[in-house]
Structure 1
C-alpha cells in the first residue's frame, strides 16, 4: 500500500530509540522528510535531519518547528512520542504516596507540557499549508488507572484530552489529531539496567528475562502473552498520519496486546 507520505515533512520527538526511532525510520522509508528530535543523535535513511532538543525546555518546541521549516519548508506531520520516565527517573513506582509534588511536576512537564508546546508550535504552520496530521503517543495507563505510576497515568490522561480538544478545534482547517495508546512495549524503559524489568524483578523474585517474557505479560493480563514490539506501534502511526486515514480524527487507538478490557 502506498501511504502517500513521499515528500511530506514529519517531526518525530523522542526519536533516538524505541517507538520514536521505529516511527522515524518507518516514515523515512516511506519517503517523508523527517526531523528527528531527541537529546541524543540518531541516523536515519533518506532525507532526515536530527535536531538535538530537550523538550523539558519550554523554548525547544518552537526551535524544532523553525528548523523543520528552514530545512524542508513546513510541517505536515507531528508525532509526539517523547514521554515516559523523565530523565533520571526510574519507573515503575508503586502506590499513590510514592510520588511527591516535585515528581508530579516533572512528570507533567515531560509527558504533557512538551506535547502541548509542540502542538502549539506546529499547528499554525500546518494550517498555513492547508492542514496536517498529529499523533500523540499516550498509554493504556491513561484509561486504566491503578496504584502504579499514578502521576504518569494522570499526565497521559491529560494528553488524551488535549488531543480530542485540538482535533475538534482545528479539524475544519485540515488538521487531524489522533492518539495511540500502547500497552507495555519492549523498549529501553523495560530492558535497560535499572529499568522496569529489574524493578519488577526485585519485587516478584524472578529474573529480568522471566519478567519480560512471562511475569509482566501475566501481571498486565496481556491476551497476546507478550510485550508489544515498537514496530507494531510505528506501523499504526504511519497509517494514521497518512492521507489514507483522511477521515480518522479524534481517535484513541490502543495497541496493547489486550491490556485494556473495557468496551
Structure 2
C-alpha cells in the first residue's frame, strides 16, 4: 500500500518540489496551501505523471484553527498521513519597528503555531501505526540571531530546536524527525519581498537539490541537514562563538537588506 505524504505550502517553491519528488518515489500526496488553482493543477499533473493519488486541501495556515481544519479534511477523505512535511512559511525583513505587527503575528501563526499544531494532530497516528516521519523546514537563519529578520530568524530557531527535541523523543519509536535548514532558495520569496537584498549571502540555489538533500537525509535518519558546503560550514561554526558576537557579525551581513523602501514581507 502506498504511503501518504502531506505537504504544506505545496502550491510553489520547495513545497511543490517536495510533492514532485515524493510522488516520483511512489507516495500519494496531500497538498495544502491557500492557492486552490495552483494546487489543483499540480495534483492533476502528479496523478498523470506518477500514477499516485493526489488530494487537495485549501487552507490558510495563519488561521487559528488551521490544523483542525486540515485534520478534519483528512478524516472526511479517510486519509492517514505517514509523512508530514511542514514546509509552509513566510518571512518579514527590515527594521522591527517598521514591520506591520499583524503581519509578524501571521508569520508566527504559519511558521510556528501551525507547524506545531499539525505535528500534534498527525504524529500520534504515526505512532499508533508503528512508523512515520516529520520534515520541518527551517532555514540557515536558525543558527544565529538575524537582525532585520528578527522574527523570521527566531521562528526558524524554534523550528530547529523543536525538531531536534522531537527526534530524540521518538528515536526508537518508529518516527523519524528531520529539520531542513537551507540557505536562500530561488522561490517566490524574492518576488514577493520585492528585493534581491533578502539573499544576504549573495548565493542562491534552486528547489530540486535542496529537496533531494532533505530526502537523502531523511532516508539516513539524520537530525538536520543544511544543504550546500558554505551553508553547512556556517551552520556548524556559528553556534560555537559567543552569541552576542554572532549577533553582531550577523548584523554586518543582514544590514544590506535595508533600503530607502519600507520594510516588507515575503513568502518562503
Please tell me whether residue 19 in structure 1 is matched to residue 18 in structure 2.
no
How many residue pairs are counted as aligned between the two chains? 224
More helix per residue: 1 or 2?
A: 2
Are the counterparts in 2 of residues 135 and 240 from structure 1 also a CA contact under 8 Å? no
1:56 aligned counterpart, secondary structure = coil
2:90 aligned counterpart, secondary structure = coil
Are the counterparts in 2 of residues 184 and 256 from structure 1 also a CA contact under 8 Å? no
**Which structure 1 residue ranges, 5 or more long, are not aligned?**
1-5, 86-90, 201-210
Please tell me whether residue 255 in structure 1 is matched to residue 232 in structure 2.
no
1:114 aligned counterpart, secondary structure = helix
Please tell me whether residue 56 in structure 1 is matched to residue 62 in structure 2.
yes
**Residue 191 (structure 1) shift:** 2.9
2:56 aligned counterpart, secondary structure = strand
Alpha-carbon distance between aligned partners in 2 of 1:109 and 1:63, rounded to the nearest angstrom: 14
1:79 maps to which of 59, 79, 85: 85
TM-score by length of 1: 0.76
Partner of 1:35: 30
1:182 aligned counterpart, secondary structure = coil
Alpha-carbon distance between aligned partners in 2 of 1:172 and 1:69, rounded to the nearest angstrom: 28
Are the counterparts in 1 of residues 34 and 60 from structure 2 also a CA contact under 8 Å? yes
**Residue 165 (structure 1) shift:** 1.9
Alpha-carbon distance between aligned partners in 2 of 1:135 and 1:257, rounded to the nearest angstrom: 21
Matches within 5 A, 1:145-164: 145-164=145-164
Please tell me whether residue 229 in structure 1 is matched to residue 206 in structure 2.
yes
> RMSD of the alignment, in Å?
2.3
Query: Cα 1:184–1:143, aligned 2, differ >3 Å: closer, same or farther?
Result: same
**Residue 140 (structure 1) shift:** 0.5
**Which structure 2 residue ranges, 5 or more long, are not aligned?**
47-51, 238-268
**Residue 102 (structure 1) shift:** 4.2
Partner of 1:206: none
Are the counterparts in 2 of residues 55 and 110 from structure 1 also a CA contact under 8 Å? yes
Alpha-carbon distance between aligned partners in 1 of 2:146 and 2:169, rounded to the nearest angstrom: 31
Alpha-carbon distance between aligned partners in 1 of 2:228 and 2:86, rounded to the nearest angstrom: 18
Are the counterparts in 2 of residues 138 and 160 from structure 1 also a CA contact under 8 Å? yes
Alpha-carbon distance between aligned partners in 2 of 1:105 and 1:256, rounded to the nearest angstrom: 31
**Residue 147 (structure 1) shift:** 1.7
TM-score by length of 2: 0.75
Please tell me whether residue 220 in structure 1 is matched to residue 197 in structure 2.
no
Query: Cα 1:142–1:126, aligned 2, differ >3 Å: closer, same or farther?
Result: same
**Residue 60 (structure 1) shift:** 2.3
Q: Deviations over 1:190-219 (max 9, x none)?
A: 134x5332xx3xxxxxxxxxx9xxxx4xx4
Matches within 5 A, 1:180-259: 180-192=180-192, 194-197=193-196, 200=197, 216=199, 219-220=200-201, 226-241=203-218, 244-245=219-220, 248-249=221-222, 251-256=223-228, 258-259=230-231
Please tell me whether residue 105 in structure 1 is matched to residue 87 in structure 2.
no
